[in-house]
A and B are shown apart, each in its own frame.
Chain A
Amino acid sequence: MSRDRSLLWFLRLYLLAVFGFVFAPIVASLVFSFNSDRFPTIPLGSFTFKWYVQVWGNESMREAMLNSVIVAAVVSVASTFIGFCTAYTDYRYRFFGKNLYLGLALLPPTIPLVIMGLAMLAWLSRIGLSGHIWSVMIAHTVMCSPFAMAVIRLRLAQMDENLEPAAWNLGATEWGAMRHVVLPFTMPAIVAALCLTAAVSFDEFAVAWFVSGINKTVPVVILEILQGNVDPQINAIGTFVFMTSMTLIVFAQVLLLTRQKKQVGTNE
C-alpha cells in the first residue's frame, strides 16, 4: 500500500503548492509593504510603516480611495437591486423569451474587459456620460449584477415554493408577501451580494481605466503608477486593496454558508 501513501502525500504537497502559487502575490505584497528597501527582494531590509504613511499623505491617492469607496458603495446597491429583480423574476415567473432574458442578464462576464471598456467608452462619450464618476458606476453595475443575480437566485432556490402562497393565503398582498416573506428570507444572500459586488467593483480596473477620465479609482491609479517605474507604494496600496476585498468576500461567503444549514422550513 505504500504506492498509495506516496501518491497521497504527493497530491497533498501539490495542493499546498497550488495554494502557495495562488496566495504568493498577496503574501509578497503584504511582506514588502513593510520592507524598507525600495526594491522588493530577498534578503529583506528592516520593518517600516513609511510606505503606508507616504500613501496616506498623498492627496490624489486619498481622492482615488474615496472615489473607489463611493463607486463601490453605489454599484453594490444598484447591482444588487438589479440582480434581485432578475433572480426573483426567474424564480417566480414563466414567460415567453425567458431564456433570452436570462442570457441578457448573465452575458457581461463573458465579454473581455478591454472590449467592455472600449464599448462603454465609445457609447458613454457619445451620450455625454463619459469621464465622470457615474460613468464608472454605470459600467460596473452592468458587470456586477450577474454576480448578485447568481447569489440571490441560489438562495431563492432554497425557499419552499409554498411560502409566498402561504403569505397570500393569510392575507398578504403580493407586495406584502415580498416585504414580509421574500425579503427576510433572502436577506443573507442580499447582504452577501452587496459585499461581493462591492469587492468586484473595488478591484475593477480595466473598464474603469477606460471610462473614468480624471475621476480615478484606486485600481486606475495603480495602473498608471505601474506604467512608470518600480514604486514601493504599490505594495502598501495593494495590501490595503487586498485586505478590503478579502474581508468583503470572506464575510459574504460566511453569510451564504452558515445560513444554509439552518434552512428549509418544510415538513420534516
Chain B
Amino acid sequence: MTIPTEHSRRWNGYLLTWRLPMIVWQVLFFLVPLIFMVVLSFWLVKNYRMEPALVGINWSKMMSRDYFWDAYWRTLALAAGATVVTSLLAFPASFALAFKVSENARRWAVFLLIIPFFTSYIVRAYAWQVILAQSGVINSLFSMVGLGPYTMLNSAFGTIVGYLALTLPLVVVLQTFSLASIDRSLIEAAHNLGCGRIKTVFLVILPLAKIGFIVGALFCFILSFGDFVSPYYLGGSKPPTLSILIIDTTKSGQQWPRAAVVAVTMIVTLFIIAFTAVTLAYRKPGRT
C-alpha cells in the first residue's frame, strides 16, 4: 500500500496534533519510569528511606545471594518448560484448526479463544487453585473412581498449569494463523513427490510456519517469565521466582533499589532471549 499524499510538506498543527500525544505520554509515563527504575538500582537505602546515589552495593549484594540465583534459574527453567509444553500442547489444536475444520469454524474458534485471553487472569488462577486443590473438583472426580488424591498445587506442576491457562489461547491462535497462511499447493507438491503425511509435517509445514511458531513461543516465554500469579497461587510461592522476589522486596521490604536490580536483570534476560528468537525466526535458510 502506498503512503497517501503529503497534503502539505510543512509541519502544521494538524500533523503535530496526531504525532505528539503518544510521544509525550509514552516518554513521560513509560520510558522515564523504566529508566528511573534502572537508575534506582544504584540508589542507597538508609533508615528505610531512599537516597539518590551511584553505588553498586545493591547489585553486589543481590548478585552474591544464593536465593537470587536460585530464583533466576528456577524462573528461567519454569518459563522454558512452560514454553515447550505450551507449544507442544498447542500444536495438535492449531493443526486441527488450520487444516481439519472449515474456515467458518476456524473463525469461530479464534473468536472464542480470544475471549478468555482478555478476561481476568487472576480469577482464572484462583479457579484453578480450587479445581486442583486436595479436595477440589479433580480430586473429587478421581475419588469417585477410587483414585487419588493427587497433590497438584504447591509444585512446579501447578505453576505450569497456571502458565498454560495464561498463554495457551494466545499460542494456539498465533500457530493457527501461521499454519493457515501456508500455501496449500506446497503441501500438495510434497505429497505429489512422495513425501509421507507425517514427514511432510516436519519437512515442509513446520519450516514454513517457523516464524509464527517462534513468535508464539517467545510471547509464551515472556509472559511466563514475568508472571507472579501462577507461581504464587498455584506453585506455592516457595522457592520464589524472580517476579515474586520483586514483590516481596517491594511490598514487605520496601527495598525498592534491590527490587530494581532484579527487574533490570529480568529485562536484560528477556531482551537477549527475544533478540535471539527473532534472529532465529528470520534467518534465511541455507546458512545453517
Residue from B93, B135, B259 having most chain A Cβ neighbours under 10 A: B93
| Residue in B3, B111, B126, B250 whose beta carbon sits within 8 Å of that of A94 in the complex | B3
Taken together as a complex, chains A and B put the C-alpha atoms of A81 and B18 apart, in Å, by 10
Contact between A175 and B14, CB atoms less than 8 A apart: yes
Question: A220 to nearest B CB, angstroms?
Answer: 9
Question: B53 to nearest A CB, angstroms?
Answer: 15
User: Within 8 Å of chain A (Cβ to Cβ): is B112?
Assistant: yes
User: Within 8 Å of chain B (Cβ to Cβ): is A24?
Assistant: yes
Contact between A157 and B1, CB atoms less than 8 A apart: yes
Taken together as a complex, chains A and B put the C-alpha atoms of A125 and B121 apart, in Å, by 27
Contact between B263 and A203, CB atoms less than 8 A apart: no
Taken together as a complex, chains A and B put the C-alpha atoms of A28 and B32 apart, in Å, by 42
Contact between A8 and B246, CB atoms less than 8 A apart: no
| Residue in B3, B140, B169, B227 whose beta carbon sits within 8 Å of that of A92 in the complex | B3
Question: A130 to nearest B CB, angstroms?
Answer: 11
Contact between B25 and A238, CB atoms less than 8 A apart: no
Taken together as a complex, chains A and B put the C-alpha atoms of A206 and B243 apart, in Å, by 11
Contact between B4 and A92, CB atoms less than 8 A apart: yes
Question: Which residues on B sit within 8 Å (CB–CB) of A226?
Answer: 122, 126, 233
Closest Cβ neighbor of B264 among chain A residues: A115
User: Within 8 Å of chain A (Cβ to Cβ): is B96?
Assistant: yes
Binds A, one of B34-42, B57-65, B183-191: B34-42
User: Within 8 Å of chain B (Cβ to Cβ): is A86?
Assistant: yes
Binds A, one of B152-160, B202-210, B266-274: B266-274
Contact between A196 and B118, CB atoms less than 8 A apart: yes
Contact between A222 and B122, CB atoms less than 8 A apart: yes
Question: Which residues on B sit within 8 Å (CB–CB) of A164?
Answer: 4-5, 7
Question: Which residues on B sit within 8 Å (CB–CB) of A92?
Answer: 3-4, 18
Interface flags, B149-177, vs A, CB<8A=1, else 0 = 00000000000000011001100100000
Taken together as a complex, chains A and B put the C-alpha atoms of A237 and B126 apart, in Å, by 12
Taken together as a complex, chains A and B put the C-alpha atoms of A168 and B100 apart, in Å, by 48
Q: Given that A14-B92, A118-B37 are known contacts, is A113 also in contact with B165, CB under 8 Å in the complex?
A: no
Question: Which residues on B sit within 8 Å (CB–CB) of A139?
Answer: 29
Question: Which residues on B sit within 8 Å (CB–CB) of A170?
Answer: none
Taken together as a complex, chains A and B put the C-alpha atoms of A22 and B111 apart, in Å, by 13
Contact between A219 and B36, CB atoms less than 8 A apart: no
| Residue in B6, B36, B123, B259 whose beta carbon sits within 8 Å of that of A126 in the complex | B36
User: Within 8 Å of chain B (Cβ to Cβ): is A96?
Assistant: no
Contact between A145 and B22, CB atoms less than 8 A apart: yes
Question: Which residues on A sit within 8 Å (CB–CB) of B12?
Answer: 174
Contact between B226 and A249, CB atoms less than 8 A apart: no
Measured CB to CB, the residues of B under 8 A from A are: 1-8, 12, 14-15, 17-23, 25-27, 29-34, 36-37, 40, 89-90, 92-93, 95-97, 100-101, 107, 109, 111-116, 118-128, 130-131, 133, 135-137, 140-141, 164-165, 168-169, 172, 222-223, 225-229, 233, 243, 246-247, 250, 256, 259-260, 263, 266-267, 270, 274
Can you name 30 A-B pairs with beta carbons within 8 Å? A12-B101, A15-B93, A23-B116, A26-B119, A26-B124, A28-B127, A29-B124, A85-B18, A92-B4, A93-B15, A113-B227, A114-B263, A115-B37, A115-B226, A115-B246, A122-B33, A123-B33, A123-B36, A141-B25, A142-B29, A157-B1, A161-B2, A162-B4, A164-B7, A165-B5, A202-B120, A222-B123, A235-B127, A242-B123, A250-B115
Measured CB to CB, the residues of A under 8 A from B are: 8, 11-12, 14-15, 18-19, 21-26, 28-29, 32, 39-43, 81-82, 85-86, 88-89, 91-94, 101, 104-105, 107-108, 110-116, 118-124, 126, 138-139, 141-142, 145, 157, 161-162, 164-165, 168, 174-175, 178, 196, 199-200, 202-203, 205-206, 210, 219, 222-223, 226, 230, 234-235, 237-238, 241-242, 245-246, 249-250, 253, 257
Shortest 10 CB-CB contacts between residues of A and residues of B? A112-B226, A25-B127, A123-B33, A238-B123, A11-B96, A119-B33, A25-B124, A203-B120, A119-B37, A42-B140
